[in-house]
Structure 1
Amino acid sequence: MSAAGRAAVFGQPIGHSKSPALHRAAYAELGVDLDYWAIEAGASEAARLARMLRDEPGWRGASVTMPLKQAMVPLMDSVSERVSRLGVLNTIVASGSPGSVRLHGENTDVDGIVQALGDAGATAVRSVAILGAGGTATAATAALQLLGARQLDFVVRDAGRAADVLALAAAGGCRAEAVDAHTAGGRMHQYDAVVSTLPPHAADEFIDALGLDGLAPGTPLLDVAYDPWPSAIAAAWSAAGGSVVGGLSMLVHQAVGQVRLFTGTSEADWPHVTNVMCDAVGLPHPIR
């Protein structure tokens, strides 16, 4: 590696990831000598990845996506309060000198979701439906609580898989329920926003049951999937009169937090850096 530092995104599948384009654009704009690429790896390789970050020189950190968001947590030397509470991370910061590198876990997905919903005009919410109950739904729960949510419906096929997010929502003072798509469809007019945390195409089967005829005009949907785009649910939502923001917006905003952590840069024109990152992936600039 010719760069003074290195970072990467870990996950599986990873070939579609826009993270390398985002990070490289940010480091070039900041004048930071840091290379960034994608490494395909599953949960069974978590320990190997942690050793690599500790043993190979130059690592500043890693972005972490599925299926590693939970698997990497026990391998950290320290984690933020947020990661401790949520049990999932999306960011690893490597620091220290060779032979004594420490790994710290953070979660910038929460900030990314808050800011992406803000791009769609949802700066305060009360009642929200979340499609899915996995690691990203955990981050969405924390984000929506920051936006004032008091009622969260987790739309799942198997209510048993929602136990962790239901407990997290309740601990944050929310009423929470695991519901099927038909039940959520009957409540569609009550929701201030909907967040789909499902992987590409997984939300397709929910579209008919959700009954988007009852959607209030302008209701925001954040679909964290961004490849292919528009997703089937995003297209149906828009056709029904709702407002749509894609996962690429979330990805940009959470990546800005990672860039701050990997570079240690605090003094920068971050709105401008955000716009440069948007340009790198063909995304309109956020409205401020």
Structure 2
Amino acid sequence: MLTPARLAVWGDPIDHSRSPALHAAAYRELGLPWEYGRQRVTEAGFPAALENLDATWRGLSLTMPLKNVAATSAASLDDAALRTGAVNTYLLTDDGPRGFNTDVGGLARALREAGVTRPRAARILGAGATATSAVLSLAELGAPGVEVVARRPEAVEPLRALGASVGVEVVPSAFDAPGTPDPVAVTIGALPGGVDAGAGIRPYAENGGLLVDVVYGNWPTSLAEQWLAAGNAAINGLPMLLHQALLQVRVFVGGDPAVPLEREDAVLAAMRVALVGG
């Protein structure tokens, strides 16, 4: 039996999180009597909360606003966490917390599941933290270039450097002057939840291919509505949530997000049922 066996998701707010249902389904399927809860933890309170964990704790899932402070507090970082400066998973060890970013792999897996493989052209709407993971996800799929549309083009500069480090050309564009955008195979909506996309997004909807909007509450979003009105497909962020959670389970069970679980197909199926039910 793998011990210790306590896990939780931390963030602020946290009551909406579907992680407890996803992880509970996975550990039931694996026959592991692990406890997975949730706790409201603010960025300011994160160091003290981490310090108070005892030897019964195995790991943490981390959501906003903790991803950046978790990266600076980790004893080690995987490549995705190192490149993004964001951690959403802690494996707690005697040598300190090992930090991972499974958002990158989770989005890449969700895109593949939606039929996106090696897109010749892709677009990201927004230049915040989610866009950073999106650039790396598209690089993982072999996209040669990505257009990033932002309200402030200067916000794209860090993404250009990140893209260059993984062989992806990142081209900035502005929301207020779309003209007629070039057609792309896939668009990743990385705008904060609740943001009104506005009428100016219509040209992007008409030429944006499949929309993968990372938001999964209050669906369809205003962004998705414009995609659907333009006759293009749109999916929400639940597939990304599902697959990043599966990679977290890999970390908690075996210590490596790249190593599949035993009976992983059954585990994923159980998590998918829990997600729909949640």
TM-score (norm. length: structure 1) = 0.86
**In the alignment, structure 1 residue 36 sits paired with structure 2 residue 30:** no
CA distance in 2 between partners of 1:174 and 1:235 (Å):
29
Alpha-carbon distance, 1:18 to partner: 0.9
Residues 10 and 267 (structure 1), Cα distance of their counterparts in 2 relative to 1, 3 Å cut: closer
Residues 35 and 243 (structure 1), Cα distance of their counterparts in 2 relative to 1, 3 Å cut: same
Alpha-carbon distance, 1:19 to partner: 0.9
Residues 275 and 69 (structure 1), Cα distance of their counterparts in 2 relative to 1, 3 Å cut: same
Residues 134 and 213 (structure 1), Cα distance of their counterparts in 2 relative to 1, 3 Å cut: closer
Task: Give the partner amino acid of 1:249.
Answer: P
Alpha-carbon distance, 1:120 to partner: 1.9
Alpha-carbon distance, 1:182 to partner: 4.2
CA distance in 1 between partners of 2:55 and 2:179 (Å):
52
Residue 65 of structure 2 is matched in structure 1 by 67
Residue 194 of structure 1 is matched in structure 2 by 187
Say which SS state the counterpart of residue 199 (structure 1) adopts: coil
Deviating more after overlay: 153-162 vs 104-113: 153-162
| Preserved contact between residue 50 and residue 75 of structure 1 (Cα < 8 Å) | no
Alpha-carbon distance, 1:267 to partner: 4.5
Residue 12 of structure 2 is matched in structure 1 by 12
| Preserved contact between residue 8 and residue 61 of structure 2 (Cα < 8 Å) | yes
CA distance in 2 between partners of 1:223 and 1:119 (Å):
15
What is the 5 A alignment of 1:1-288?
5-52=5-52, 55-96=53-94, 102-184=96-178, 186-187=180-181, 189-202=182-195, 204=196, 206-212=197-203, 215-216=206-207, 219-264=209-254, 267-282=261-276
Say which SS state the counterpart of residue 66 (structure 2) adopts: coil
| Preserved contact between residue 5 and residue 59 of structure 1 (Cα < 8 Å) | yes
| Percent of pairs with identical residues | 35
Task: Give the partner amino acid of 1:211.
Answer: R
Say which SS state the counterpart of residue 43 (structure 1) adopts: coil
Say which SS state the counterpart of residue 63 (structure 1) adopts: strand
Alpha-carbon distance, 1:42 to partner: 2.6
Say which SS state the counterpart of residue 147 (structure 2) adopts: strand
Cα deviations by residue, 1:13-36 (Å, 9 ceiling, x for unpaired): 222111111111111111111111
| Preserved contact between residue 186 and residue 210 of structure 1 (Cα < 8 Å) | no
Alpha-carbon distance, 1:108 to partner: 0.9
Residues 25 and 44 (structure 1), Cα distance of their counterparts in 2 relative to 1, 3 Å cut: same
Alpha-carbon distance, 1:171 to partner: 2.2
Task: Give the partner amino acid of 2:24.
Answer: R
Residues 184 and 213 (structure 1), Cα distance of their counterparts in 2 relative to 1, 3 Å cut: closer
CA distance in 2 between partners of 1:185 and 1:226 (Å):
29
C-alpha RMSD of matched pairs (Å): 2.2
Say which SS state the counterpart of residue 61 (structure 1) adopts: strand
CA distance in 2 between partners of 1:13 and 1:162 (Å):
28
Alpha-carbon distance, 1:209 to partner: 0.9
